[in-house]
Amino acid sequence: MDLQFEEHSVRSAAGDADIGYIQIGSGPSLVIVPGALGLALDWSFVATAMADRVASYPIDRRGKGRSGLGNGFSVEAEAADVKAVLDAAGPDACLMGHSSGALIALEAARLYSPRKLVIYEPPFFFKGPQVDSLMSRYKAKLDVGDADGAIDMLSREELLMTDAQVAFMRSTPAWGILLSLAPTFPAEWDAIWKFNPQVESYKDLSMPVLLLTGSMTENNPSYPTQTLLELLPNARKVVIDGHGHMGHLAAADFIADQIASFLLT
């Protein structure tokens, strides 16, 4: 892949941190908010695949990559980070979020009304006794320096990745990124559940919404994609066949085509 991008940063609308992002391609502007264990570069495969149709602005969320931590993690602060990049991307910018980044994107959309919205498996229901057990074991692995084991466990138990998919992830630069970000995950999730996002809070979003979900995770109770489809007044759903929560790494061309078609119509 011939990856060409521009690096930029902008002051968060919260006023406490500089937020880094990359810009790839030309066309309608799309700000992309990665998941908790992701960086802007994780979305370079998708962004490059649609670079002839869409100008992508994947961000490094606060405390990661090019972005400062400021006063720490909170949904409100991260929505303000997104607002700053939306402003930089132009008045008609669209917004996308993946995983916990989709929770941030939904809140930013409620506050700032982007032209269109793309949402990929927001984990509204990643909580409860089973998740508490998973997070306890995740933290225990981090405490003994086993970030690899923590990410492997999360990939299999929550993301429902197969042996082959985990092996593929391990063969890509994304695995090293996941390991480097593994220690930030518990604090981010504490901030999200302090905010306590509710699906019903977004029922009045009127902009067109594209809901992406993997066929392997479509029925995962953490991700209420079908509920969002029924709740939002102007939403449609696309299933990424044969993939799950990390489809943007292995099905980049398909996802790029779906996003580009959505933004251009």
pLDDT digits (tens, 9 = 90+) for 144-175: 999 999 999 999 987 778 899 899 889 988 89
Distance from C-alpha of 174 to C-alpha of 180, rounded to nearest angstrom: 10
pLDDT of the residue at 1: 52
- Model pLDDT for residues 204-218, shown as the tens digit of each residue: 999 999 999 999 999
30: tokens are 């799309």
Identify the band that residue 200 occupies on the pLDDT scale cut at 50, 70 and 90: very high
pTM equals: 0.91
CA distance 24 to 44: 8
- pLDDT band per the 50, 70, 90 thresholds, residue 128: confident
Percent of the chain residues topping a pLDDT of 90: 77
Q: What is the mean pLDDT of residues 55-61?
A: 98
6-126+196-264, which class in CATH?
alpha beta
DSSP 24: B
**What mean pLDDT do residues 120-136 have?**
86
> For 174-189, how does the pLDDT look when each residue is reduced to its tens digit (9 = 90+)?
899 899 999 999 988 8
